[in-house]
Structure 1
Amino acid sequence: MLTIDTAQRRIRLQRRHGLVPGHPATVAEAAAAIVVVHATDPATVYLSLLARCPGAKLGDISAALYDDRSLVKLIGMRRTMFVVPTDFAPVVHSAAGRAIAQRLRKQLLQHLGTHRTEPPVGADLEAWLTDVEAGTERAVDARGEALASQLSQDEPRLRTTLIPNGDKAYDVPMKLTSRVLTLMGADGRVVRGRPAGTWLSRQHRWASVRSLWPDGMPELPEASAQEELVRRWLGAFGPATVADLKWWTGWTLGTTRKLLARLDVTEVGLEGETQPGVVLSHDLEPEPAAPPTAALLPALDATPMGWQRREWFLGPHQPALFDRNGNIGPTVWWDGRIVGGWAIREGEIVWRLLEDIGAEGEVAVAEVAGLLQGRLDGATVIPSFRTPLERELVEGGS
């Protein structure tokens, strides 16, 4: 069995994830290079794409998301929010989004059936929900783009309130507005639009899906969409273990293995791993060595979040760089591996190396930090999930 060593995996990571000079050229190409961009934290989208496109500015990313619409935000694998190239969105939607929408719909109908509502919704819950979705979709189409509060004015049933059955502190009445819109987004009936505030804002407008696809979100057969998703992931993240793919997609082990069996893949050994890896059969030739490069990747960046087993690029640094729930914070990279962490303190990028990378590496990190600093317009970014080193740096630790 062919064995692919750690050095080659790091070379592939740098080259294929846009961490070497000269590629990618546009923010849409940068997103495609890592298949999807994590978007749970709005700042991650911008910082991930800036890291891979040295010539891009914040406005270029906003334009790709909201003007030329070459990128779109949607729910995908593991019910996570992602930004994806618009032409790839139907694949993600059909491979993962529709199944998530089915679960969200089932949960909402169950809650409607077991909770009192104000006003009452009637006996035929499915018909009621279907009619509310249709009314909401008409309102979005008419406005083109609107805040949830505006849509609930046009479709008052969005303000229907679920009355809790219990008496716990967290049992509070909740309007259905957010749940219905999230369901419709997962179902491909509406998409997330411009933020209500700056690029760091968590509140966003909802936009008509017909601004991207006049006939609605294209739907593909689930199996073929899943195969294409696996193919894209292996092209960017392979070689990797079956466990890596299972974790990234959120599928069962059986589904993951069934999909791999339908693709032309080859099993390979991985240096330092007890389990074999898989790689696309046409992708066995080694990549030429890449020049050592530095990068500052944000919290939840798609590269370090792309594998379940990360020792080959993370080393011993997990305690400092991850929170208790397994979310990675901002990381400093050199030559295809994580070597430190960074943060923004009062508008200034600060970092700490966790290992010796030599004078060349230190100079490269400083240069990358300086370039990024100049493109943030003085913003201070605090990740949603705080990690030990990021907190230390913000609080003034050296």
Structure 2
Amino acid sequence: MVLRTVDVGERRARLAARHRIAPAHRAPDPVEAAKSMVCLHGTDPATVYLSAWARVADLSVAELDDALYVDRSLVKHLAMRRTVFVFPRAALPAAQAGASNRVAQAQRRSVIKDIERAELHEDGARWLDEATTKVLHALAGGREATSSELRSEIPILDASTDYGIGKSWGGKVPFAPRVMTVLSASGHVVRASNNGHWRISRPNWARTGAWLGEEIEPRSESEGLRELVEMWLRAFGPGTEADIKWWLGSTVKGVRAALADLAAVEVDLDGRTGYLLPEDVDPAPPVEPWGALLPSLDPTTMGWFERDWYLGPYKQQLFDTSGNAGPTAWWDGRIVGTWWQTDDGAVRLYMLEDAGADAEAFLSDEAARLDEWLGGVRVMPRFPSPLAKSLAAQ
């Protein structure tokens, strides 16, 4: 059987339209922007706002705040790869079953092991069960509370373990954040309202049912995986097994089972096997040349494991050693530069190559638009890229 070839040009055209980053394809609101990406990356709180800004025309901070904290149509949730994402509410059941439960189980085992190793309790499972029960009791009745408030009220949470004993870099690791990780990955609590500026995460915790008005609907793991893979293929397809496995933080076995359930169609990606949904095999229409400025950890930059077709030779400049992407400048479906801010918050464009006069002009206009939107607010990426560090040091 001869596979249909999806070349780099078509992949870039799909990306432009489906990720809502080509100006002609921007989303009408933040919920649609998140849905178009399955979810937005939320480890760095500023990324959520800047990713939405890149995809929604005339976005305001208040509009996204309303979606997160008033309508609660977007929800911060710990899921794939033990990472915080911002999901549309409708995607939560799939995320919980297909990713979060697996994370919760791994984190639970880790906490139990470390509690016993630190000799805080001979039965780590019993200690963790008691701690989580007390947290849920403290948050009863729709109450919201910070981690600090919970630690001050619940003595069992004020436990820690030593690391680097006798070393200058040694210290203590508290268990309270890890308890909250288990609870949030399990779907019992969520990051509710935020006590900080939009670019800073200082969340109150709340019980999920109270914050959303209902619990997350249970699904089987296979159902969750299938739904997540379907959403990923709709947004990011075509992609390889390696792409999907990395994005999900799952196993090859799980990915293959989901692809089989979806009757995914094999296509040729420059000699590698990729997959599309059966109803999505027709060639994508071309897209007019476009540009975009995306923030660090943006879901487009982070969406695939195999990135050469849009990243080119710039991995060492734009990704840190842990694989976290810095800010990027895109032209016509590939990364051609970065952007950064001066000490006074002014946005500056930095090109890694000569992409042509049209690209330079468009991206310079985007930098000016972002500069106006930020209004002098300086965003400090949690995981700055090597290039971002060198530019900030100038």
TM-score (norm 2): 0.93
**Would the aligned equivalents of 1:145 and 1:207 in 2 still touch at CA under 8 Å?**
yes
**RMSD over aligned Cα, in angstroms?**
2.0
- Cα distance change on mapping 1:355 and 1:88 into 2, 3 Å: same
**Residue equivalent to 2:81:** 78
- Cα distance change on mapping 1:137 and 1:188 into 2, 3 Å: same
**Would the aligned equivalents of 1:342 and 1:393 in 2 still touch at CA under 8 Å?**
no
- Secondary structure class of the residue paired with 1:390: helix
Displacement after TM superposition at 1:390 (Å): 1.6
**What is the letter of the counterpart of residue 370 of structure 1?**
A
- Secondary structure class of the residue paired with 2:197: coil
How far does the alpha carbon of each residue in 1:161-185 deviate from its partner, in whole angstroms, 9 at most, with x for none? 4466955556544432211111111
- Cα distance change on mapping 1:325 and 1:26 into 2, 3 Å: same
Are 1:342 and 2:339 counterparts? yes
Instruction: Within 5 Å, give how 1:53-202 maps onto structure 2.
Output: 53-117=56-120, 121=121, 124-142=123-141, 144-162=143-161, 167-168=166-167, 172-202=171-201
How many percent identity over aligned positions?
38
**What is the letter of the counterpart of residue 16 of structure 2?**
Q
How far does the alpha carbon of each residue in 1:124-150 deviate from its partner, in whole angstroms, 9 at most, with x for none? 543443232122112123462211111
In the comparison of the two structures, how many residue pairs are matched? Answer: 390
Are 1:310 and 2:310 counterparts? no
**Residue equivalent to 1:372:** 370
**Residue equivalent to 1:5:** 7
Partner Cα distance (2:127, 2:391) in 1: 51
**Residue equivalent to 1:39:** 42
Indicate the larger mover: 63-72 or 230-239.
63-72
How far does the alpha carbon of each residue in 1:211-250 deviate from its partner, in whole angstroms, 9 at most, with x for none? 3443422221110111000000011111111111111112
Corresponding residue to 1:17 among 12, 15, 19:
19
Partner Cα distance (2:212, 2:193) in 1: 18
Partner Cα distance (2:365, 2:21) in 1: 14
How far does the alpha carbon of each residue in 1:322-343 deviate from its partner, in whole angstroms, 9 at most, with x for none? 2222221110011111111111
**Residue equivalent to 2:357:** 359
**Residue equivalent to 2:280:** 283
Instruction: Within 5 Å, give how 1:206-221 maps onto structure 2.
Output: 206-221=205-220
Partner Cα distance (1:335, 1:212) in 2: 41
How far does the alpha carbon of each residue in 1:241-278 deviate from its partner, in whole angstroms, 9 at most, with x for none? 1111111112122222222122211111113xx32111
**What is the letter of the counterpart of residue 134 of structure 2?**
G
Partner Cα distance (1:111, 1:389) in 2: 37
- Cα distance change on mapping 1:187 and 1:168 into 2, 3 Å: farther
- Secondary structure class of the residue paired with 1:341: strand
Instruction: Within 5 Å, give how 1:230-309 maps onto structure 2.
Output: 230-271=229-270, 274-309=271-306
Displacement after TM superposition at 1:13 (Å): 0.3
- Cα distance change on mapping 1:165 and 1:126 into 2, 3 Å: farther
Displacement after TM superposition at 1:208 (Å): 2.4
Indicate the larger mover: 357-366 or 41-50.
357-366
Which runs of 5 or more structure 2 residues have no equivalent in the other structure? none
Partner Cα distance (1:100, 1:357) in 2: 41
**Would the aligned equivalents of 1:41 and 1:383 in 2 still touch at CA under 8 Å?**
yes
Partner Cα distance (2:226, 2:345) in 1: 43
Partner Cα distance (2:351, 2:117) in 1: 53
Displacement after TM superposition at 1:374 (Å): 1.6
How far does the alpha carbon of each residue in 1:19-71 deviate from its partner, in whole angstroms, 9 at most, with x for none? 12243111011011111211121111111111111211122222211111111
TM-score (norm 1): 0.92
- Cα distance change on mapping 1:102 and 1:170 into 2, 3 Å: farther
**Would the aligned equivalents of 2:225 and 2:254 in 1 still touch at CA under 8 Å?**
no
- Secondary structure class of the residue paired with 1:375: helix
**What is the letter of the counterpart of residue 85 of structure 2?**
F
- Secondary structure class of the residue paired with 1:227: helix
